Every structure is written in structure tokens, then in C-alpha cells.
Chain A
Amino acid sequence: MTVITENTLELVDVTKTFGSMKALDSVNIRVAPHEVVGLIGENGAGKSTLLKLLAGVHQQNSGELIIRGQKQRMKAPSDGANLGIGVVHQEQSLIVNLTVAENLHLGSAGTPGEKRGVNRLGLYNWAELNRQAETALRRIGSSIDPTTIVEDLSFTDRQMVEIAKAVQVAEHSGAEPLLILDEPTAILEPQETEILEREVARLKQLGSVIFVSHRLQEVLRVSDRIYVLRHGRVVGERNSKDVVEEELFQLMTGRESRQTANEAVGRTLGRQVLSVQGLTRRGHFRDVSFSIRAGEVCAFVGANGSGRDELARALFGAEPFDSGTFSVDGRPARSMRIRRAIRSAVAYLPSERKTEGMVAGLSVSENLTLAHPVDGQNGPIQLPGKRRAAMRRWIAKMDVRPADPDIDIARLSGGNQQKVVLGKWFLAKKLKVAILDHPLRGLDPGAKESVAQLIAEAAAAGCAIMLLADTLEEALGNGNSIIVMKDGTITERHNLAERIPALAELVEGMV
């Protein structure tokens, strides 16, 4: 007699749109009991939307969510908890100056009245809290002392507490838990991940697990089956044991034909302007060496934790580095500060436009002149007349709309804001290096094109450009060369003038 066990989770033709963008497109996924299912895909493939859907943060626009045989519709994160779904998010949710037991108590499901350990007057029964915490920790096989303050725990242990918290939530419903682990190893060093991988194996006995990570090897090691997402669709489903990695890379990036060279590639390049030797920052990037020539756009690609963001900021002096040197136009530096970088004709465009790029409240012309004075207006006094004329010229050159220098920059569209934020660096007499951190992020296609155009013009004028790209297509479409980083080191270098790599090749270096 066969026992039919229903799937713990089934997504049937689930679609989720944000405005006009389809984040998830007819996704079909199933997770059986006591199975570990891995999810892989590039940035923007839809992984995080899918997880948010399962966590109850989003609702699908169409399609069915079937949990243990029953159709469900989740309206809030607490619905997910009630259905036996526990999530360990990418970002830490533990309060670091409280003990493990308190954090587990805070994270446990149930109203304050139902939870034991703290009575209605708010008095703590530590013996009870510790006991409950121990139970939750033993459940997942951990021997952490519940009286430890979270701050004193290693990051591996903190993740174990997060997992215990999620299991606690999921088991409160009485069913076997479905655990969702979103990049649980992202904050760990590569050598610490072993412990977590063993933990996932243990969790399999308790229930099912969905595991997301940017490290392909890791995902293959811990999962039974994996799904490959691309552009919001499930493009492949494989058994981990039978899989061939090259196939996965192809699936992740699609069977697109080789890209044709972009215009930038043909250009003659000048001498080396930015030269980096052995740059290291413990915990972020290690022994990074590369160089960029005048007029060259070098695109950096990498997944979570690749270290490229920190590298970019270190070169600008916004963040420190521990060892190594780099030189701008031959002048070496063992350390860097922002103002020194700017004096050396280096520019930096931050990835967070609203919080780090533009100064909302100041006008367009004030934002434009924030870094460098305009056309000879060097003094402390900025006479409005001359400046206005100069501003109008710049605004017209960059096609900023509306073309009003005195309008508050917050009133512009994202693309125009980005032009202004980027534009302020062009006021420098001669820009040598421009470090652009995800410059096209969050822009609509038309804006992307104009900003890309500005970047190309800067390169044509002789600037060396370090471009942190959002997507591989962006890298191929804008760069003369591509550097791939993974977990803090450079794994691949490609010179597009010699040979254009396939997308799958690039992905291989990232995961």
C-alpha cells in the first residue's frame, strides 16, 4: 500500500508584479517533506521576491499557494508563522545587547499573554526563559548557553540562534516546519560555513528547508533538488546529485547568443591611470590587484559578498583598507581620505542615490557645484549671475529636465537626479578616475540610456572608469573589460577587445 504524502509546499503558476514589472512569472515550485530545496539565480532573478511571498510580506497577483495540501492566501507575516513557515532573513534580527534566551522569547510566536516566562506585570522568570531557550536550541542540536549575550557570540552561533528562532516560530503551529534560509552564510567566512551546512542536514529531519545562497557549491552540497530562477521564471529544476555545473551557469544566464561588442570596445586606450596592488581589507576583500587605463571602462561584477562595493569605497577613501597600495596617475597611496581622493581628480558615485548621492533640499545648481566649483567661480562668494549662465550650459549639456538650475533636486525624476549627482564630478578640470557604484540602478530604461551615454562620454574624454554593474548585460554593454569577484577575490578578468565571454562564463566566476 502506498502512502501518499502531500507536498509541504506547492507554488502553482504564481505571478507577482510590481507596477509594470513582473518579479515572478508563472512560477511552479514544490517542496516535499524532509527535503532541502535550493534556489539559485542572479541578482534580480526573483529569489528575494519569492521568499518574501512565502514569508507573507507580499501577496501573489495570480496563482496558488498550497501548503500541506491546503490552498492558502497570506496577508501578513504572521500568517506565514501560523502556517508553519519560519524564515531566517539575510539581515540579522537579533538584539545584540540582550541574551539568547530573551531573543528567542521575543521571537516566539503567540501573544504576550500566551508566552510563558514573562508574566503580565512584565517580570521575568529567568529560569523559565532559559529552559525554553534550551529546548529550542537542543531541538536544532545546538549547545549554546542561553544566558550568553548575543554580542558575545560568534557569527556562526548567531545564525544558529536565528535558526532556532525560526524553527520555534514554525513549530508553534504544530505542523512540521518549513524553514526558509535566505543567504544564511553571507555574513560568515568561507571556512565557517561547514557548521551551518551540517545544521541544514539536521534540519531536514525536523521538516523541509528552502535554501538560498550565492555560493553555488554550497547550495549543491546541502540541497536535494535545486531550482534555477531567471527573470522571475523557473528555468530549470535538477537533482543536486545529477547536476552538471556548466548547465546551471547556462540556465542562470539564458541561452542568449554571444553579445556583440559595444562601441566602447574599439577605442584606443591611454596609459594606466588607476593601479591597485594587493589591496586587502580583512573580512571584505583580499589581495586585489588590477589596473585601469585612461578611457577604459572596467566593469566589476559579483554576487553578494563579493567585496566590490567595499573595494570601490576604499579606493575613494570612504572606507578603510588594511594593506596594499594603489596609485592614481602614478601617485602612490597607502591610505586614502575622501578629500585627498577628490583633489587627485577621483570621483565616486554612491549606489544609494537618495541617502548618499544627492542632497535633497538643495537646488540642482547647488548639487552640481557641491564637489567642484564651476568655471572659475573659485572664491567663497558665488555670484548668482555668472554661475547661473554656467549652470544652464551644464544642464543643457547633460539634458537635465526640467532645465531649471534653482529647482529643488528632490523634484526631479530619478534619472535626472542621477545625471546631476554624476554631473557634479564632471565640473572638475580633468577627471582622472570615476568610481561608479551601480550607477544605473533603479532607473527606467530611458534614463539608463542617458546616464550610460554620459559615462561613455566621460570615458571618451580620457577618464578611467570603474563601474560596478547591476547585471552582466550592463557590464557587457558598457565595458572595455570585465573583472569578476567572488567572496573578496578576483576570480576572472576579461578584455572585451580580445574576446567576449559568454554570460555563463561570467556567472561561473561569481558563484
Chain B
Amino acid sequence: MSDTAHETVVDQRLEATHHCAHQVNAKPSPLHRINWPTLGPLIALVVISIAFTFINSSFATWSNMRAILDQASIPLVLAMGATLVILMGSIDLSIQGVMAASGLTFVLLSANSVNGNEFGIGAIIAGLVVGVIFGAFSGIIHTKLRIPSFMATLGVWYIGLGVATVLFGDTVPELEDAGLLSWANATPLGIANGVLVAVAVVIIAVLIMRFSSLGRNALAIGADENLARLNSIPVNRYKIYVFTFAGLLSGVAGILGTMRIGNGIVEVGSGQLFFTTAAVVVGGTLLSGGRGGPLRSVVGVFLLTVINNGLILSGASPVYQQLIAGIVIVTAVVLAGLRQRSRLRIIK
């Protein structure tokens, strides 16, 4: 009976209100906003950068700084999408698959070694459209079939890889459009285009969080989905929008990555899921949703990029990057959860 169902939800929220109400009685001081989750990663970034400067003389050079920016650009793009999804309380595991599908679509429609297409900008747009379609698809499966987002996007990850594999065919499609090949690394404005794209995406993400219902509703849904519904927010619609946005950015990342590599390969997104998730989590956005933001993820991306960069400079194997990313995720998730631990809290 809907009455009793409503009662239960109502009672639960009353209980929640009653419980947390009495934990904070006085108006909290503005100082509580300045705390470890916010400043910790930034401080860590500064400290580690200073440490590396002393450890390795080639760290603090212009060319290395440019290299860091280059290495950070694709993760930055992905992290903006991931941040919005995670703020909403969901997760997007599909980014590598979508990158592959978009990247291969882009290559096969540009001037390439396998077919006679030469659509130039049209190829880029097509790649982006593929990203949008995959993102929307993830959102629709999650909301209409009502399966958890990690499951839905896990499936879409593989579907994306599968589509990319089919597109790949038997020989590696090489990008032959000279303009596009070098575009990512060209520096008409002094900084690589790829980095500029990342900066633009970051700015857009910040604007979305501050000034658009896409961002604000995502925050609301992440804080309490049922309460958001009660406040007349069309939750399902906005979930689809957010996943679509993340898919679009996966497309951007896939195209950028393909330009860099010069070929269309299914592994274009390899390792990005870890890196991006680790960056968002270590930056301070909570996996449970509702807390955090794109700028925190920017800090997270740079923190991890600098660590990797330092490791590479000191000759450590790239395998360590993944190891660190994995450990970072586990540690950050455990630490973030510490604050919210309680006896009867149920987390699956």
C-alpha cells in the first residue's frame, strides 16, 4: 500500500533528522569548512612537488612542467565527467570502453590507412556523438531497468570495447590526417592544444556546478535521492543527463588519446579508469555523493600525475603507477568512510 510505503520513508527520514539534529546544536563555525578533506590533497601536492624538486634536478624544469600538463590533460577531461557522476552518488565504470569506441569511430572517419574516409571535423563530431550515445545509454539502462550504476556501466564498458573491437577489424587503422595528428601537441598559443582542451573542460565543469541545474540537481540527488524526488526534481531525467555528459567527455578523451597515439586501438583508454577514480577520490569527492567538486578532482589529478612523473623521472617502472593508483583508491575510500562510521550503518 502506498500509504504504508510512504509512512516508512517518512519515518526513516524523521529518524535520520532526529538523530543528526542533535549532534550539531549550535551554528557551526565557518572554520569547519577548512578541514583535511578540502586542503589535505592540496597540501600533499605542494609537499610532494617540493620534495621531488630536491630529489631530482630534472623535475622543476619547464619541459617537465609541460610534460606534466600533457600527461594530466586526458585524466582531467575524464575526471570532470567522473566527478559529476560521483557527486550524484553513482559511478561510471564505462569510460575506457567509450573512449575506445569513440576513438575508433573518429579514426575510421578521418583520413586513415584502412579506408578512404576523410571527414575532418566531421570525424571529431562523430566521435563525440558516439560518446554521447554511450553515455545516454548507460543512464537509460540505469534508470529504466533500475540496475545499480556500477553494473550498468560495467556492461557498457564491455559493450564499448566490443564495438571498438568490431570497428578495429583486422589491421590497425592509422590516423593519416596530418593536421589532426599533430593538433593535440601543437602549441599555437604556447601551450599544447590538448592541455587547452582540458582547461576548457575544467572551466565548463566548474560553471556547470555553479550555474546550472545539471550540477545543482546532481548534488541534490547525491545528498538524498528520495528527498530530491520529494522536492520535485526529475531525478531520472537528470541522471541520464549526467551520464550523457560523462559519455561526451569520454568521447573527448578518446579522440585526444587517439590523436596522441596516432592509431585507433581498443586499448586507448587503458589504465584510465583507475587513475580517474583514484584522482577523484583522493581529491576529496565522496563516493557516497553530495560532497566534493571539480576543482578538488583537479588537485587529485595533479597529485597523482606529479607522483607518476616523479616516479618515471627516477626510473621506476610504470607498473608502480597502477599499484599506487590501486592503493590510493583503497586508502582514500577507507579514510573517507571513517568519518561516517556508525554501528548500524549498512554499506554494500
Cβ of A97 within 8 Å of any chain B Cβ, yes or no, is yes
Asked if A122 and B14 make an inter-chain contact with CB atoms under 8 angstroms apart, the answer reads no
Q: Which residues of A contact B10 (CB under 8 A)?
A: 89-91
Q: Which of A107, A153, A352 contacts B231 (CB 8 A)?
A: A107
Question: Which residue of chain A has its CB nearest to the CB of B234?
Answer: A112
Which of the segments B94-102, B117-125, B159-167, B210-218 contacts the partner chain? B210-218
Q: What number of B residues sit within 8 Å (CB to CB) of A?
A: 40
Are B216 and A102 in touch, CB under 8 angstroms?
yes
SS class, residues of chain A in contact with chain B: loop
Contact between B25 and A155, CB atoms less than 8 A apart = yes
Which chain B residues numbered 324 to 348 have a C-beta less than 8 Å away from chain A?
Answer: 343-344
Of B11, B17, B22, B290, the contact of A283 (CB 8 Å cutoff): B22
- Indicate if the CB atoms of B219 and A98 lie closer than 8 Å: yes
Are A95 and B343 neighbours in the complex by a CB distance under 8 Å?
Answer: no
B223 lies within 8 A of A95 (CB): yes
Q: From residue B342, how far is it (CB to closest CB) to chain A in Å?
A: 8
Evaluate contact between A153 and B213: CB separation under 8 angstroms: no
Instruction: Verify if B179 is at the interface (C-beta below 8 Å from A).
Output: no
Partner of A90, one of B14, B24, B30: B14
A113 shortest CB reach to chain B, Å: 13
Contact A355 B223 (CB under 8 A): no
Q: Which residue of A lies closest to B231 (CB)?
A: A106
| Pairwise interchain contact B25-A189, C-beta atoms closer than 8 A | yes
Asked if B13 is at the interface (CB within 8 A of a chain A CB), the reply is: yes
**Which chain B residue shows the least CB distance to A122?**
B213
Asked whether, in the complex, the Cβ of A187 is within 8 Å of the Cβ of B17, the reply is yes
- B18 contacts partner chain A, Cβ-Cβ < 8 Å: yes
As a 0/1 sequence over residues 188 to 230 of chain A, the CB contacts with chain B under 8 angstroms (1 = contact) are 1100100000000000000000000000000000000000000
Within the complex, which residue of A106, A283, A354 is in contact with B25, where a contact is CB–CB below 8 Å? A283
Which residues of chain B from 14 to 33 have any CB-CB distance to chain A below 8 Å in the complex? Answer: 14, 17-18, 21-28, 30, 33
Query: Whole-angstrom distance between the alpha carbons of A111 and B216 in the complex?
Result: 18
A134-164 near B? 1/0 per residue, CB < 8 Å: 0000000000000000001111010000000
Name the distance in Å between B44's Cβ and chain A's nearest Cβ.
Answer: 25
* In the assembled complex, B196 has its CB within 8 A of some CB on chain A: no
Q: A91-B14, A92-B13 are in contact. Are A284 and B22 (CB under 8 A)?
A: yes
Task: Report the Cα distance A194→B6, complex, angstroms.
Answer: 32
Query: In the complex, A124→B233 CA distance in Å?
Result: 15
Q: Which one of B8, B230, B231 contacts A355 once the chains associate, using CB atoms below 8 Å?
A: B8
CA distance A354 to B7 in the complex (A): 13
Given contacts A95-B220, A97-B220, A318-B343, contact A152 B18 (CB under 8 A): no
Task: Please tell me if the beta carbons of B213 and A186 are within 8 angstroms of each other in the complex.
Answer: no
User: How far, in whole Å, are A248 and B3 apart by their CA atoms in the complex?
Assistant: 31
B232 within 8 A of A: yes
Query: B29: shortest Cβ distance to chain A, in Å?
Result: 9
Q: Are A124 and B219 in contact (CB under 8 A)?
A: no
Residues of B within 8 A of A381 (CB): none
The chain A residue sitting closest to B292, CB to CB, is A97
Selected from A57, A97, A152, A186, the residue in CB contact (under 8 A) with B27 is A152
Q: CB-CB < 8 A to B211: which residues of A?
A: 123-124, 126
* Of the residues B33, B212, B219, contact of A97 by C-beta under 8 Å: B219
Chain A residues proximal to chain B, CB less than 8 Å: 18, 57, 89-93, 95-98, 102-103, 106-107, 118, 121-124, 126, 152-155, 157, 186-189, 192, 282-284, 305, 317-320, 337-338, 352, 354-355
In the complex, besides A18-B3, A93-B227, A124-B216, 19 extra interface pairs with C-beta distance below 8 angstroms are A91-B13, A91-B17, A92-B17, A93-B230, A97-B223, A97-B291, A106-B233, A118-B213, A123-B213, A152-B27, A155-B21, A187-B17, A187-B18, A187-B22, A283-B25, A284-B22, A338-B343, A352-B8, A352-B11
